[in-house]
Amino acid sequence: MDIGVIGVGRMGTAMARNLIKAGHGVYLFDPVPDGPRELGKEGGHVVASARDAFRGDVCISMLSNDDAMRAVFIDGGLPPQGAKTIHMNMATASVAMAQELAAHHKARGVPYVAACVWGRPDAAAAAKLSVVVAGEKTAIDKVEPLFKVLAQRHTRVGDDPVMANVAKIAGNLMVASAIEAMGEAAALVRAYGLNSADFLTMVNTALFDVPVYRGYGDAIGHSKYEPPGFDLALGFKDVRLALAASEKKNVPLPFANVLRDAFLDAIAHGDSKKDWAAIATVAARRAGLD
Amino acid sequence: MDIGVIGVGRMGTAMARNLIKAGHGVYLFDPVPDGPRELGKEGGHVVASARDAFRGDVCISMLSNDDAMRAVFIDGGLPPQGAKTIHMNMATASVAMAQELAAHHKARGVPYVAACVWGRPDAAAAAKLSVVVAGEKTAIDKVEPLFKVLAQRHTRVGDDPVMANVAKIAGNLMVASAIEAMGEAAALVRAYGLNSADFLTMVNTALFDVPVYRGYGDAIGHSKYEPPGFDLALGFKDVRLALAASEKKNVPLPFANVLRDAFLDAIAHGDSKKDWAAIATVAARRAGLD
Amino acid sequence: MDIGVIGVGRMGTAMARNLIKAGHGVYLFDPVPDGPRELGKEGGHVVASARDAFRGDVCISMLSNDDAMRAVFIDGGLPPQGAKTIHMNMATASVAMAQELAAHHKARGVPYVAACVWGRPDAAAAAKLSVVVAGEKTAIDKVEPLFKVLAQRHTRVGDDPVMANVAKIAGNLMVASAIEAMGEAAALVRAYGLNSADFLTMVNTALFDVPVYRGYGDAIGHSKYEPPGFDLALGFKDVRLALAASEKKNVPLPFANVLRDAFLDAIAHGDSKKDWAAIATVAARRAGLD
Amino acid sequence: MDIGVIGVGRMGTAMARNLIKAGHGVYLFDPVPDGPRELGKEGGHVVASARDAFRGDVCISMLSNDDAMRAVFIDGGLPPQGAKTIHMNMATASVAMAQELAAHHKARGVPYVAACVWGRPDAAAAAKLSVVVAGEKTAIDKVEPLFKVLAQRHTRVGDDPVMANVAKIAGNLMVASAIEAMGEAAALVRAYGLNSADFLTMVNTALFDVPVYRGYGDAIGHSKYEPPGFDLALGFKDVRLALAASEKKNVPLPFANVLRDAFLDAIAHGDSKKDWAAIATVAARRAGLD
């Protein structure tokens, strides 16, 4: 297929590289001009504008936040009216932006699929992402072969693109909750003199032997939050997406509230650029353990 | 070895059966007289008093709560002064009771090991428990062969028996937090019209593919809380153990507080005998989804 | 003085009436055309546009929320560039909107004062409002005589208009917290069989003998939430203003989070049009007391 | 009347002095022998044992916590079996202890009244306490004249003595909540550069002009927590009484949970001997403002 890619950061790069390797024609654009340069040497085609990424069968977008999506699509007047290219947005948008984008594409008569992913850049590179996808069935049928190139599994959640974002946001809340739970448990055992790294290794081996717990457990146990795998400031953004989504439907979320305060506390103490597992330092600080 | 077992409920029965099968001499006592009867037919020896369980190499106790432990050991004057039998307490005690029991055994000159387990009765039956053990090194060395019969792994956390209880309590807090996180995420997606069973299956497959998440996720997704695997009222007891432990060392635990209220809410609505995953109904009720 | 008034709802009406009675020339505009009609019969002058309210010495605005302020001032292109009329905004804006309005007036060269008020329409009618005011000193000096007509006291908090909004938002958080505290205390005593109306009367008489506690305590004690003095949905808006303000400066606010969930719970159960004291029903419902 | 007084600390001293001044015969005992000495010079009679305080018409007890009450009454075997002296317990007991004391007195056939007070030692000295009283009607009728000597008002809440304790505990939760609310609001305005003392003075003058808010607001605004009026560690005890009471009746109390963590945080940071208003430092620390 001919595939546009808008947004060539760490995630977008890893995904585009897999598409290139799989033999697709890949047309790359990033708002930051140097972004796609490297892939240009690996067989990708760097294009001059986001509009040029809408010439193929599919355009994948992977922009970092609502503002970037608004700039390129809503304010940028893309996709072109009536384009046949399927737009598959793989970034995590707020529910409000997801709704706005769905309506925007409908008004322009352009097929729109939301396909949110779980996984970090290394999982993207290894084609081990998990994808939750929603949108018009015929459009998803067409892009489905790409999931095999990008991901280890994908799940459809209906024809309203917004639902993929809702699922992604709710899943992220579970990840953030796992981090906070480890942070509190680690603070508790530390206060009694136990080694928190040993404790987390033990519990995660016994009960939670998956990368999410393993990885963040190691970070928390060894207080190793740099370099960040996922910035704490971005983690806070995800918590806010959950809070915003919950306010639209009147869903109290006490864990999300605790997370809100933990992230604010961490940011107030200068940790916004560390890995988001650093909210565990807040649990320790509250107990006077720092 | 000759092994006493005090407390032959669901967990104790499964564990004692494995010891019998492994060829050990097993001497069984339960405060409820009929408890050990079945195992008596399978090769175990039913004894008339808790004191009689302290005649062999090791006495394992698996009583259901602090009150039962107090009755048998502190108020019951056991183990006998100066007994050579190692007492291996495998139940979850409060930190306060753990400290009292450690001092009590020291005063009586009886070797005492705390060996807390993660796993339900079916894991106990399959010898797939995970054990966290603490106490005097020489005593643990002697009981260590039993862990191969009872568990798939064990971890030592030092020579203070209390530490095994602290680790167990902190680990349970992580399990309860996982349940609440699923409950909130499920409520959020339901409010948008997504099927929460499908959602939890998807997220757990992608990110949390372990029995804790799988099992409770299925229960929450299908609102199937009966028969209980672990009573909600007992789950509340575990949360209270974490809260009590945290108050002794001044460790704020906001997730544990949220859990406290979720359990109280569930109990107030008549769910104390359901599986503790039923705290997810509280998240749904708060959102008007019940 | 000649005074424009933009926004003639319940609060604006009560305030404008006092200005008319005090002999000022009052020029009234409301986005809802019928709003000012009544006051037109009492000596006020109904004008045809918001722009016409900017012809006198001062223009007071009292619009209900950020959207209304944005429509009239930011998008509506008011005040007129270089107007000499002091704009005194007495409504509660978000911190973000307050900042935007301050910059907007600066760019237009129009003196801008934020003067937020505590008090319900009956307090406004009785000229018993409390005002917190911020802005350029010379502008405040000029409008100061009006506070005697409208309020029982006013306090200056510096020359940055935003600060009046910050103070108002923080003060409202204290009011909402008082309501939740009464709700929880009332639920606790009810669970023991005490009459919550008697309890609240007693405690408020002993410790909290001020209208905020008296009024909301009576409402909670007698479960009388209709007609609303202040809509629960508006109360939620105020809590959200506090949360939004706290996120800009990284201030964790656990009480505000609890309030968020209480309001969402109440709204999810159909109470958004009741008085905001109805969040006390959430505390009761959680305990199974409804 | 002849009145025994057991527990002559700061509160008991102030109350006993008023009884002496009013012409009553006052018989004083304190577990700490030097406690009553001063009053012995002012017309009081120091007696040798708690039992000796049960010889008159009424015995007032004002011990500092459950442990002290247990030592004197439950374990100490008082009041004497069948004594005609009315025991009026004016201390704040836990609900569990209140229930145990009620049953204990019933078994001994001694009339028992619980009369909990709001007010600090200076209010006790000025006879400005507020009393909530419960117990057998005829017994309360007999002690009622004493309230005029000790308090500015009293309220009856039925014939079950426990109810006075429940009301007291719930009222204290409201006081603690007011402190936390001020702490959070003060942190929020400080983060924006407002002076928190000015802010609290303004809001309290406008909306909360009562000693509870005034006093704690001044302490928070000026960060003046020493000498303590009421120790933070005792404040935590009160919050725990509310939490314990709520667990007996399944009443979720999210504000009490927030308070629990704030007190633990403050204690972990060395503030247990400061005034309990020092939990406001926790709100500031979370925001990086300390």
Give the pLDDT confidence of D226-243 residue by residue, as tens digits: 999 899 999 999 999 999
Q: Are strands A129-135 and D2-6 parallel, antiparallel or unpaired?
A: unpaired
Structure-block tokens of residue A33: 């001009």
D85 and D154: one domain?
Answer: yes
Among the listed residues B25, B33, B95, the one whose alpha carbon sits nearest the alpha carbon of residue B60: B25
From chain B, the residues in CB contact with A203 under 8 A are 118, 167, 170-171, 174
B290 contact A CB<8A: no
* Distant-in-sequence, close-in-space partners of B278: CB < 8 Å, separation ≥ 6: B219, B225, B232, B266, B271
State whether C202 and D157 contact (CB < 8 Å).
yes
Candidates C118, C166, C207; nearest CB to D118: C207
From chain D, the residues in CB contact with C240 under 8 A are none
Q: Among all residues of chain A, which has the CA nearest to that of D191?
A: A268
C44 and C143: one domain?
Answer: yes
Chain-centroid distance, C-alpha D62: 9
Q: Is the pLDDT score of C33 beyond 90? A: no
A186 and A71: one domain?
Answer: no
Task: Report the CATH number that the domain containing residue B277 is assigned in CATH.
Answer: 1.10.1040.10
Candidates B261, B269, B286; nearest CB to C265: B286
Query: What DSSP string describes C90-101?
Result: -S---HHHHHHH
Q: What is the pLDDT of residue B287?
A: 98
State the angle between helix axes of D162-191 and D95-108 in degrees (0 to 180), rounded to the nearest 10: 160
Q: Is the pLDDT score of C82 beyond 80? A: yes
| Other C-beta atoms lying within 10 Å of the C-beta of residue D70 | 17
Q: Among all residues of chain D, which has the CA nearest to that of A283?
A: D265
A123 and A7: one domain?
Answer: yes
Residues of chain B with pLDDT under 50: none
Spatial distance between the Cα atoms of C99 and C117, rounded to a whole number of angstroms: 18
**What is the residue type of B52?**
D
Spatial distance between the Cα atoms of D7 and D9, rounded to a whole number of angstroms: 6
For chain B, the domain total comes to: 2
Burial profile C101-120: b = 16 or more Cβ within 10 angstroms, e = fewer: bbebbeebebbbbbbbbbbb
Choosing from D128, D142, D168, D273, the catalytic residue is: D168
Choosing from B128, B142, B148, B168, the catalytic residue is: B168
Candidates B264, B268, B288; nearest CB to C268: B288
Q: What is the pLDDT of residue C167?
A: 98
- Over residues C170-199, the mean pLDDT reads 98
Rg, chain C, Cα only: 20
Lowest mean pLDDT segment, chosen from A3-17, C184-198, D29-43? D29-43
Query: What DSSP string describes D158-203?
Result: -S-THHHHHHHHHHHHHHHHHHHHHHHHHHHHHHTT--HHHHHHHH
Q: What is the pLDDT of residue A192?
A: 97
Task: Report the CATH number that the domain containing residue D30 is assigned in CATH.
Answer: 3.40.50.720
D185 and D252: one domain?
Answer: yes
B145 and B235: one domain?
Answer: no
Q: How far is D110 from chain B (nearest CA, A)?
A: 31
From chain A, the residues in CB contact with C265 under 8 A are 250, 252
Quick one: residue A184, left, alpha or beta (phi over 0 = left, psi -120 to 50 = alpha)? alpha
D36 and D152: one domain?
Answer: yes
A171 and A149: one domain?
Answer: no
State whether D252 and B261 contact (CB < 8 Å).
yes
D125 and D230: one domain?
Answer: no
Tell me: the pLDDT tens digits for C241-272? 999 999 999 999 999 999 999 999 999 999 99
Identify the domain boundary among D123, D144, D159.
Answer: D159
From chain C, the residues in CB contact with A268 under 8 A are 250-252
D38 contact B CB<8A: no
Identify the domain boundary among B104, B129, B160.
Answer: B160
Among the listed residues B146, B165, B164, B142, the one whose alpha carbon sits nearest the alpha carbon of residue B155: B164
Q: What is the pLDDT of residue A165?
A: 98
* Distant-in-sequence, close-in-space partners of C57: CB < 8 Å, separation ≥ 6: C1, C2, C3, C85, C86, C142
Q: Are strands A112-118 and A129-135 parallel, antiparallel or unpaired?
A: antiparallel
Token look-up 């799988």 returns: B214
Q: What is the pLDDT of residue A120?
A: 87
Lowest mean pLDDT segment, chosen from A163-172, A192-201, C164-173, D32-41? D32-41
From chain C, the residues in CB contact with B262 under 8 A are none
B143 and B205: one domain?
Answer: no
B200 and B245: one domain?
Answer: yes
Cα–Cα distances (Å) from C96 to A233, C92, C165, D88, in that order, read 20, 11, 10, 57
From chain D, the residues in CB contact with C286 under 8 A are 251-252
Q: Is the pLDDT score of C36 beyond 90? A: no
pTM given for the model: 0.96
At residue A36 the predicted structure's pLDDT band, cuts being 50, 70 and 90, is: confident
Residue A270 CB-density burial (10 A; 0-12 exposed, 13-18 middle, 19+ buried): exposed
Structure-block tokens of residue B14: 């499964």
Candidates B153, B170, B212; nearest CB to A188: B170
C261 contact A CB<8A: yes
Cite the active site residues of A: 168
Structure-block tokens of residue B9: 């409920």
Q: What is the pLDDT of residue C290?
A: 83
Q: Among all residues of chain B, which has the CA nearest to that of A198?
A: B157
Question: For B63, phi and psi rounded to 5 degrees?
Answer: -90, 160
Spatial distance between the Cα atoms of C90 and C16, rounded to a whole number of angstroms: 12
C185 and C225: one domain?
Answer: yes
State whether A260 and C252 contact (CB < 8 Å).
yes
Q: Among all residues of chain B, which has the CA nearest to that of D264?
A: B250
B242 contact A CB<8A: yes
Contact status, residue A81 vs residue A51, Cβ threshold 8 Å: no
Q: Which of residues 112-141 of B touch A (CB under 8 A)?
A: 118, 130, 132
Predicted ipTM? 0.95
Identify the domain boundary among D159, D178, D194.
Answer: D159
D261 contact C CB<8A: yes
Preceding amide of A211 cis, omega within 30: no
State whether A264 and C247 contact (CB < 8 Å).
yes
User: What is the domain range of residue C85?
Assistant: 2-160
Q: How far is D23 from chain C (nearest CA, A)?
A: 27
From chain C, the residues in CB contact with D170 under 8 A are 185-186, 188-189, 199, 203
Question: For D30, phi and psi rounded to 5 degrees?
Answer: -135, 140
Tell me: the pLDDT tens digits for D103-143? 999 999 999 999 999 998 999 999 999 999 999 999 999 99
* Distant-in-sequence, close-in-space partners of B57: CB < 8 Å, separation ≥ 6: B1, B2, B3, B85, B86, B142
Question: For D88, phi and psi rounded to 5 degrees?
Answer: -110, 105
CA D122, D126, D132, D135 dihedral sign is positive
At residue A38 the predicted structure's pLDDT band, cuts being 50, 70 and 90, is: confident
Mean pLDDT of chain C: 96
From chain C, the residues in CB contact with A253 under 8 A are 261
Candidates C264, C270, C288; nearest CB to B268: C288
State whether C166 and D185 contact (CB < 8 Å).
no
Q: How far is A245 from chain C (nearest CA, A)?
A: 12
Candidates A268, A270, A288; nearest CB to D268: A288
Chains interfacing with C (3 or more CB pairs < 8 Å): A, B, D
Per-residue pLDDT of chain D (290 residues; tens, 9 = 90+): 999 999 999 999 999 999 999 999 999 999 887 777 889 999 999 999 999 999 999 999 999 999 999 999 999 999 999 999 999 999 999 999 999 999 999 999 999 999 999 998 999 999 999 999 999 999 999 999 999 999 999 999 999 999 999 999 999 999 999 999 999 999 999 999 999 999 999 999 999 999 999 999 999 999 999 999 899 999 999 999 999 999 999 999 999 999 999 999 999 999 999 999 999 999 999 999 98
Q: What is the pLDDT of residue D290?
A: 83
Spatial distance between the Cα atoms of D40 and D35, rounded to a whole number of angstroms: 10
